[in-house]
A and B are shown apart, each in its own frame.
Chain A
Amino acid sequence: MNHNWLETNTYHYSAFSDINRLVEAKNKKNLTISLCLPTLNEEKTIAKEIVIMKSELMTRYPLLDEIVVVDSGSRDKTREVAKAYGADVYKASDILPDLENYKGKGENLWKALYITKGDIIVYIDADIKNIHHRFVYALIGPLLLSDNIKYCKGFYTRPISIGKNNLQSTGGGRVTELVIRPLFSLFFPELTQIIQPLSGEYAGYRSIFENIPFPVGYGIETTMILDIYKNWGLDVIAQVDLEQRIHRNQDTKALGKMAFVILKTFFKRMEKSNLIDFKKELFNEMIQYDLVQNSYQPFYYEDKTYERPPMIEIVKYCEKYNIKR
């Protein structure tokens, strides 16, 4: 196991705070950079993310070439607000409409590859309450300043927002510690060096993203790491400490559903790689129980995990980008 990776490929965001240096490197390499925000009912946080990124990384420093919002069909004003602040806004279902339609974060990220122009694509969650432009420039930094790094992942301390106006300083990253890290320890100990494999903030070269499949739902962060690790090795990955990130608190049941999808996605990958051989099909339903009028009632959550193929296999994509198949 390569224990040095943590030391050599881990950075602090402050190492990239000289944004002029990043712009110079971007221009020297003749690259374009797209920021993609996947959304579903994020009207409370989306405007702040767009405003800050546009002000700091487009107007003040020309690091980003575009900000794109891919929305899963929000029922609130997410799309209107994002448009009002100048982002390019798409409904996921309107992109590649000839394909069967799915809903999920992974679907939005995959479709973003079709509508964005950048050689580098930065994905960040749209629910970050304490958004700062470091969340973006720090992910881009290692990609621009190193010739080897092709994919960069964020990590942070995660206070969670509790109640109306209070913060609790611990409690984030539970699915990581209870699900992903044990799995990585069992199958890929090297990957345990990635501090927050499930963080929703990462950036990479298009050439990487277009060559890997995207599960449409929660499993995207897990498979992305597994696929990049398998195809290009650990050395193309870097991670950056973004310090504090404040997000909405999710209850244990919601995290349970997330863990279910991630486990299923992981096992499918293991099966595909012949690392596990299941004697029977796994079930598709997560069953949770609630006490209702003195009796326990089951609640079913069905996950038909669907995976989009690498974008490079989509004819329309190849036509759009003049890629010979």
Chain B
Amino acid sequence: MDKFIDELPSYVDIIKSIKETIITNIVLIGQIPCSTFKEKRRVNMFMERMSDASVDECRTDSYNNPIGIIKGTSETKPPIFVVAHLDSFTEKNVDHNYMVKENTITGPGILDNAIGVGVLISLPEIIKKSNLSFESDIVLAGVIQSIGKGNLRGIRHLLKIWDSPIRGAICLEGCELGRLNYYSDGMIRGEIECSISKFQNRTNNFHPNAILTLNEVINQILKIHLPQRPRSRIIFGKISGGFKHGKTAYDARLGFEIQSDSDKMVKNIYTDIKDIVIGISHEYDVELKLKTISNANASKLSYNHPLVKNAWAIMDQLNIKPVSEPSESELSIFLSHKIPAITVGITRGSNYHLDNARMEIEPMFKGIAQIIGLLMAIDEGICDESQLA
């Protein structure tokens, strides 16, 4: 194994030699608006690029996840998956045309996840250029309906219908280079909606305010005891409501996420929030609805799993400093299927979810070299005997 790790830095220059192709793929895929549930045009572009790169097999599954397969030399070794989610947070009406400069590319959705998808569809040419072949088939999958309300439906479906074993998986995210996710928290993402009828007769002349009601909900959620073990937290991520400054708010919405490394704790906290919502709804005589947007189970590779150890060594060899945090992405679905998997970031960037999100071009080549290193490591069999923790 050490030999290919030693050779990894030399791949950086090979990858750089086709930078135009990689940048073109990032730009062409990223400039197509692709909000969740509206991925069709990006799926078509994915297929077109796979076909242009002459991959051995190119198709969509029954859920419309686009897939390209580079055939391996062995007929018995299970495939290795590389995946990136196709959908983006950016709305359709935003100008999606990217600006390429000497060292950067700027445009909405580039970091999440045009880079991931652009690099994914460049892999056939990168592998060809690097003169590499693998024993395993390499399955390149763009997965749809991943983020937000998509609730990882694309990857859930893909793994549900994939009826043969999978050797290992690499999930690609645009940022940050050094990101190394190998465990996934249990998670419930929810939304609390408060609506108040303007026309309802109020006997006590008191008219509730949706924003203040949600404020009370927040206050009560903040009182929930969160243990340090199992590690648990509640994140308030989104809030909106009201009509104008001088008018009582009749509607308001709060988006939150419960995260814990214990699924049981996630459920308990969710039940507590549900009780708070029901209680305040009665007390204030308002309509309060609690909806689950998405969820995932806690799962992890242990720190000493060969995939994690190899990823660490590969990054080290490329002078990339690894940073580990939990991730609630495609990773959690692979891990819950007992498939060894990690998520890596490809380059550095700024203005992450803004319309002027910006990626740096130069670090990307190292980011891609680490993917090549991981493919080689999995192909050498590092995941074959291992068990998930």
Contacts and interface: CB of A to CB of B under 8 A. Distances in A.
A161 B24 contact: no
A165 B92 CA distance: 11
A84 to B, nearest CB: 5
A206 to B, nearest CB: 26
Interface of A is mostly: mixed
A132 B101 contact: no
Given A59-B21, A85-B20, A51 B102 contact: no
B97 A246 contact: yes
Interface residues of B, number: 20
B52 A60 contact: yes
A54 interface: yes
A140 to B, nearest CB: 18
Contacts, number: 59
Given A80-B102, A132-B28, A165-B355, A51 B97 contact: no
A59 B122 CA distance: 13
B98 A48 contact: yes
B132 interface: no
Interface residues of A, number: 27
Interface in B119-143: none
Contacts of A56: 24
Given A52-B24, A55-B24, A47 B100 contact: yes
B18 interface: yes
Contacts of A220: none
B219 interface: no
Interface string B28-40: 1001000000000
Nearest to A159: B95
A52 B31 CA distance: 13
Given A59-B20, A166-B93, A81 B101 contact: yes
B111 interface: no
A44 interface: yes
B99 interface: yes
A167 B102 contact: no
B95 A55 contact: no
Interface in A21-63: 43-45, 47-48, 51-52, 54-56, 59-60
A54 B20 CA distance: 7
A101 interface: no
B97 A55 contact: no
B52 A52 contact: no
A43 B104 CA distance: 12
Contacts of A174: none
Contacts of B27: 48, 51-52
Contacts of B24: 51-52, 55-56
A54 B27 CA distance: 14
A56 B27 CA distance: 13
Contacts of A264: none
B94 interface: yes
A167 B95 contact: yes
A172 B27 CA distance: 24
B23 A84 contact: no
Contacts of B95: 129, 161, 165-167, 246
A82 to B, nearest CB: 10
A77 interface: yes
Contacts of B108: 165
Nearest to A44: B99
Contact of A55 (B23, B31, B99, B101): B23
A185 interface: no
Nearest to B99: A44
Interface of B: 18, 20-21, 23-24, 27-28, 31, 52, 93-95, 97-102, 108, 355
Given A54-B20, A81-B101, A130-B31, 4 more contacts: A43-B101, A51-B27, A129-B97, A166-B94
Considering the complex of A and B, which 7 residue pairs feature the smallest CB-CB distances, nearest first? Answer: A55-B20, A55-B24, A47-B100, A129-B97, A48-B100, A165-B95, A55-B21
Interface of A: 43-45, 47-48, 51-52, 54-56, 59-60, 77, 80-81, 84-86, 129-130, 132, 161, 164-167, 246
21 contacts: A44-B101, A45-B99, A47-B100, A47-B101, A47-B102, A48-B100, A51-B20, A51-B23, A51-B27, A52-B20, A52-B28, A55-B20, A55-B21, A55-B23, A55-B24, A60-B21, A81-B101, A85-B20, A132-B28, A161-B95, A166-B94
